[in-house]
């Protein structure tokens, strides 16, 4: 089953028949994780908004372990993550997209592994390539079809490094300068430990990074939430078109 994790600005999927909800108990939360299901033909797609339906959960408070565990429990074996980001690379200005192939984790104090208690032996996972190249290719193809159908003229950086910061505050200009020197192309707050946890459970995982602002110090003025919200509103339909193309092709 394909699962979609929605980020900031994407709290529901339109255009598919609702198949109800799964409320999943996990070892990592007293509250059950609520996953919405959609039907396309005879196939089912799972959807989970990582910030909650009303965007009430900040990046550093998301229960990443419970979310990924719940998706596996209901039968998901592939995950497409939608992540709102700040653009660093010249091709990742507001309104454009990236499908990263690498990630750098700058976060701290997050529960970042399933392998920490009652172990029979220490467990390591290979994270050399953090994203599924097969899913990345499917995402890129879905993006190209959406760009053609909508004559959208959107730019896609089909590679690149996602830098994951702690949040919830946005970064300083000096921090972005550091990320540039480290080789980051986009910056966000939710890619880790989500990607690593998916790898620990052997789930395919790829990210569509949706640029909604220039990263700090790279734009002509300071970052405003109203500007971010404008780009989220303007780009939501295009993101849903990408997902629709992906789901139809995938299923």
Question: Secondary structure of the chain in the HEC alphabet?
Answer: CEEEEECCCCCCCCCCEEEEEEEEEECCEEEEEEEEEEEECCEEEEEEECCCCCCCCCHHHCCHHHHHHHHHHCCCCEEEEEEEEEECCCCCCCCCEECCCEEEECCCCCCCCCCCCCCCCCCCCCCCCCCCHHHHHHHHHHHHHHHHHHCCCCCEECCCEEEECCCCCCCCHHHHHHHHHHCCCEEECCCCCHHHHHHHCCCEEEEEEEEEEECCCCCCCCCCHHHHHHHHHHHHHHHHHHHHHHHHHHC
Domain CATH number, residue 8: 3.40.50.1580
**What pLDDT score does 59 carry?**
97
Predicted pLDDT at 18? 86
Range 217-235 average pLDDT = 91
Whether pLDDT at 249 is above 80: no
Mean pLDDT, the chain, as a whole number?
93
Beta carbons within 8 Å of 229's beta carbon, 6+ residues apart: none
What's the pLDDT score for residue 152? 78
pLDDT of 251 higher than 70: no
Count Cβ atoms below 10 Å from residue 249 Cβ, excluding itself.
11
Q: What percent of the chain has pLDDT over 90?
A: 80
Task: Give 28-67 pLDDT, tens digit per residue.
Answer: 999 999 999 998 877 899 999 999 988 899 999 999 999 9
How many folded domains does the chain comprise?
1
Chain mean position to CA 91: 19
Which residues span the domain enclosing 132?
2-250
pTM of the full structure: 0.94
């Amino acid at each position: 089953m394909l699962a979609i994790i929605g980020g900031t600005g994407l709290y529901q999927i339109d255009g598919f028949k609702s198949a109800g909800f799964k409320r999943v108990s996990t070892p990592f939360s007293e509250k059950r994780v609520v996953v919405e299901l959609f039907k396309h033909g005879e196939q089912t797609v799972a959807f989970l908004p990582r910030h909650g339906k009303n965007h009430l959960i900040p990046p550093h408070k998301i229960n990443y372990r419970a979310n990924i565990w719940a998706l596996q429990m209901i039968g998901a074996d592939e995950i497409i993550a939608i992540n709102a980001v700040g653009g660093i690379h010249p091709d990742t200005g507001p309104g454009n997209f990236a499908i990263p192939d690498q990630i750098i984790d700058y976060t701290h104090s997050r529960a970042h592994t399933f392998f920490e208690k009652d172990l029979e032996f220490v467990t390591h996972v290979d994270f050399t390539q953090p994203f599924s190249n097969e899913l990345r290719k499917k995402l890129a193809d879905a993006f190209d079809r959406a760009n053609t159908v909508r004559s959208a003229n959107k730019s896609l950086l089909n590679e690149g490094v996602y830098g994951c910061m702690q949040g919830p505050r946005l970064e300083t200009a000096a921090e972005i300068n550091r990320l540039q020197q480290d080789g980051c192309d986009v910056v966000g707050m939710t890619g880790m430990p989500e990607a690593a946890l998916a790898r620990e459970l052997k789930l395919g995982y790829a990210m569509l990074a949706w640029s909604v602002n220039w990263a700090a110090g790279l734009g002509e003025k300071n970052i405003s939430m109203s500007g971010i919200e404008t780009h989220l509103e303007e780009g939501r339909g295009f993101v849903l078109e990408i997902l629709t193309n992906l789901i139809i092709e995938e299923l």
